[in-house]
Structure 1
Amino acid sequence: MAVDDVRGAALAAAHLLDLGHERIAFLNGPATIRQCADRRQGVVGALVAAGQDPGRALVEVALESLNADGGARATAALLDRPGPLPTAIFCVNDLTALGALRVLREADLPVPRAMAVVGYDDVNFAAELAVPLTSVRQPSHEIGWRAADLLLGTGEPEQVLFQPELVVRASSAG
């Protein structure tokens, strides 16, 4: 069982492109983590499908850790880079997005006016933030039911690729 992280990331990137963002920062973890590699593939695929050059449109920032502190450090590094800032950030997960939102608030960069932010996982707090977070939701209940069926022996073992959905909130479409 797995979630189609390539598709989920493509949904997030396509959403930002549809809003007119031409340079998107991607806060991502190491390529040795399958979800990070798949989500990068989805972002790049969405850029190519939209006719964008990923070398120009994508600003990749490596995360030291996949948590709020890692997201904060990566966002601070992004803001310190020379040249024009991207107008959107896609975070590999919602915890890193939480850190990104904190740094953007401290830098007086209003979300989404100055910088749109999208996360991944749609954790419980995403909708409750001061600026509710747009996020890619994984079908956790369906995954749980399938896992329980397998554990209880009531379901047949099968390869299932669950489909995520984009939940648009104020952090990207204020």
Structure 2
Amino acid sequence: MVVPSGTSADRVTYTPTLSSAGTLDIYARWSESNTRAEAVTYTIHHGGGSTDMVVNQQQPSAGWFRLGAFSMTPGQNHRVEVAGALEGETVADAVRFVSAGTSAPGIYYVHADHLGSPQKMTDANQALVWDAVYTPFGQVHAITGPATNNQRFPGQYADAETGFNYNYFRDYDPTTGRYVQSDPIGLRGGWNS
């Protein structure tokens, strides 16, 4: 939802569906534009009261912008409200609630093969946390370990819903070793496009 500058639509509310009490990481997302408001207020109503976070929506969010971690309990009317700003458009595209878990985030080191495809990931203690075995065309044969990694051949991202690897303008089928769409540059890319 986009709220134009100076309009009366001044608040959008996001309410999480909670099954149990816990700490949630809260993220916001908006599309980048220089017409966005520089001071958008996100009010988080949580177990410790209310917290206002003022966000500049002109800054690139590069995906999800983390607002913080907050304690929330079912049935307590915990929510996030996005207030419209006086100057610039306020964008209330999405708010995401993610269980904060108990472990601190860590840094993983990706080990690639000669093609640049990730083969293994290790943590700071050099313990193996992700190990992948692929067929020659890049289809996953086996993945073990507690971590996740959706990177495949260089520039490709595994899409679990389609079974293909997303490669910006087209999708790659790792079972056949072919793209499922034609090359966007047409026949200039060769007969096998």
TM-score (structure 2 length as normaliser): 0.21
Structure with the greater alpha carbon radius of gyration: 2
Higher share in strand: 2
Q: Which structure is richer in relative contact order (CA contacts within 8 A, separation 6 or more)?
A: 1
